[in-house]
Structure 1
């Protein structure tokens, strides 16, 4: 059965920007098959070239219930780790303003890190996932991952108020010495959020709103989705519904949502991506300097291995908060970030192309829902 297809407003035709319209038909057919198989709950995407949006479509369901409304191009979705790209940009802003420097010891700002074990960890290490701190649960395919730091800290605080979430993250030995291995660490980004708050004098969430979301006009991006808009949020499970309801219960003692907290839309993520593609500015608002954009999207790792999630990379490339893996047909220099659930933001500066997608699924990540669509998208460039 063909899925109901919803197309959003466009400001260009594919042929106007040198793109093969038939590849969009192939992309839709690919997503439809995955939805029919039950691999995906829904799929939505936006593609632009040279700043012109020529594709914006959605299909499938907004919620996991059988009687759910349809997923729409303007639907809201938690984008999880794409939040890290916003955190990286915030750090870049503070470097632009002379308030931080890249190789500054994190301990110079966070007293909990001022000890012999953590003093050598720098802002660079936290940004590049090379701090040596614990990786996310399951990074090494371990069968029994450690409890998630956000929840662990809350439980410990009930027993001992002197133990905050930072001490939970920093407890135990380092997994590697700083700079020696790429270990994906959301907890490291929580520490970056704390650094942003300490330097700016605002909460991390307020800083992101004031310095990135509001200037860019990203009016449908939130850490706490207004209750009146909850019916517009795509979720794939009951625990994501609970997560949505919990989002407005955070206290000042909770970790900043710097690693996985944002909810957003295709259009808002496109604005953020286009800002990066434009060298740090969008619609007359400068967010980052061109040099900061270049710094963030350049490889900074050399002979650093990545052995997580079944990988065995001996020389893994990574920017300052941005992935630089050049898969399949993407141009060299393409940078990106993905989010659990699954979502993605890809930026190709050679082709001046931005690709944003949401592929919500109860199965989580699959190659056919992430890697194969990306190949279809880039194969349409004429």
Structure 2
């Protein structure tokens, strides 16, 4: 299967990386495509600050159209967005406006009443707020997740005044006592986005673009498509293709919403689109203490804080897990165990659909890959994610 090569800085061996493992990576991607586990794959790997591999294989859509995946394909990074939101929060902490233990109620008055008054920014950043988690995390039908509650409230809203999406989202109460269990909660990161907006005085989408994406020269990344990035977008389905076509033609502006209540809610739990090359620039800023090529997004101590396990003996039972001690940092996952071969000083995040960003701070190895699931994945598969990580880290000499 043909592999389209992207831009690199050097050959793998120049940084002490075995190039044969890239060949194995491409071989395995081809096999997964043949088995209809994924539609295609695009990947970028850097070692010691230099891009050593960058390529694409397979189909650039989930619609059966014969169009190749390319190294500069733009795709939704889904929950990897949460790490950018956490970075924005840490920037405001560095500037002295808030602290990790700042009560949410100091910024969002809806949290001033029990049982929400004990929730802090730290709880939101570590998924331990106790708020209802994402739908599908647990088998029970109730309580409804926050998005369902917001949708129900929006249907009853008369359009007068300001729609209070926060009160609607927390109307289900707590599923667990704050701080007692890890429950994956994307709604918590929407709240963090609102907090960034209110504390900084700048819309959080603009804040992340101005304070993170632009300094790192992540020119293909953002919450809004331009005609140029839309033309390289991965086509998930017909509706998405039609949306991108309208941006490309100029019929609509990518920054315009649809006028619904959802325009009022920060898309900071999963709304950024990017390329694997841009994500590697972001990863290298973390590897080098919050700086890249003269640009500073964070201080070294903030990076250390975010990459340190924050939870101790806090269980995780999401998606059938039975983990008594969930390892999690500030906005970043820090999973260890039998599935992973990276160093203990590795931070990562998975994006639904699927993509992964893994940053090994010890080995200075970073990898980003996008592997849109096909019908064979049956919704989710570990093979294009965890197995691929093991192949990439096996190249370290």
Q: TM-score normalized by structure 1?
A: 0.94
User: Is structure 2 residue 256 aligned with structure 1 residue 256?
Assistant: no
Kept in 1: contact 2:45–2:51 (CA 8 A): yes
User: Which residue of structure 2 aligns with residue 18 of structure 1?
Assistant: 16
Aligned counterpart in structure 1 of residue 364 of structure 2, from 324, 347, 352: 352
1:279-318 aligned within 5 A: 279-318=289-328
Shift, 1:76, TM fit:
0.1
Shift, 1:68, TM fit:
3.5
Q: Secondary structure at the match of 1:328?
A: coil
User: Which residue of structure 1 aligns with residue 202 of structure 2?
Assistant: 202
Q: Secondary structure at the match of 1:45?
A: strand
Q: Secondary structure at the match of 1:304?
A: coil
Q: Structure 2: how far apart are the matches of 1:80 and 1:12?
A: 30
TM-superposition CA deviations, 1:116-157 (whole Å, max 9, x none):
221110000000000000101101144686473564454343
**Where do 4+ consecutive residues of structure 1 move more than 6 Å?**
none
Shift, 1:66, TM fit:
2.5
Q: Structure 2: how far apart are the matches of 1:27 and 1:282?
A: 28
Q: Secondary structure at the match of 2:157?
A: helix
Q: TM-score normalized by structure 2?
A: 0.91
User: Is structure 2 residue 72 aligned with structure 1 residue 57?
Assistant: no
Kept in 2: contact 1:132–1:177 (CA 8 A): yes
Q: Structure 1: how far apart are the matches of 2:141 and 2:354?
A: 22
Q: Secondary structure at the match of 1:323?
A: coil
User: Which residue of structure 2 aligns with residue 378 of structure 1?
Assistant: 393
Please list every run of 5 or more consecutive structure 2 residues that lacks an aligned counterpart in the other structure: 247-253
Kept in 1: contact 2:63–2:235 (CA 8 A): no
Q: Structure 2: how far apart are the matches of 1:103 and 1:55?
A: 41
User: Which residue of structure 2 aligns with residue 69 of structure 1?
Assistant: 67
User: Which residue of structure 2 aligns with residue 276 of structure 1?
Assistant: 286
Kept in 1: contact 2:133–2:145 (CA 8 A): no
User: Which residue of structure 2 aligns with residue 123 of structure 1?
Assistant: 121
Moved more, 371-380 or 124-133: 371-380
Shift, 1:5, TM fit:
0.9
Q: Secondary structure at the match of 1:338?
A: strand
User: Which residue of structure 2 aligns with residue 365 of structure 1?
Assistant: 380
Kept in 1: contact 2:223–2:273 (CA 8 A): yes
Q: 1:292/1:76 Cα in 2 relative to 1: closer, same or farther (>3 Å)?
A: same
> How many residues end up aligned between the 2 structures?
380
Q: 1:152/1:269 Cα in 2 relative to 1: closer, same or farther (>3 Å)?
A: farther
Q: 1:49/1:103 Cα in 2 relative to 1: closer, same or farther (>3 Å)?
A: same
1:1-382 aligned within 5 A: 2=1, 4-142=2-140, 146=145, 148-149=147-148, 151-152=151-152, 154-158=154-158, 163-238=163-238, 240-241=240-241, 248-249=256-257, 254-326=264-336, 327-362=339-374, 363=377, 364-382=379-397
Moved more, 226-235 or 327-336: 226-235
Q: 1:156/1:42 Cα in 2 relative to 1: closer, same or farther (>3 Å)?
A: farther
Kept in 2: contact 1:235–1:360 (CA 8 A): no
Q: Structure 2: how far apart are the matches of 1:110 and 1:317?
A: 28
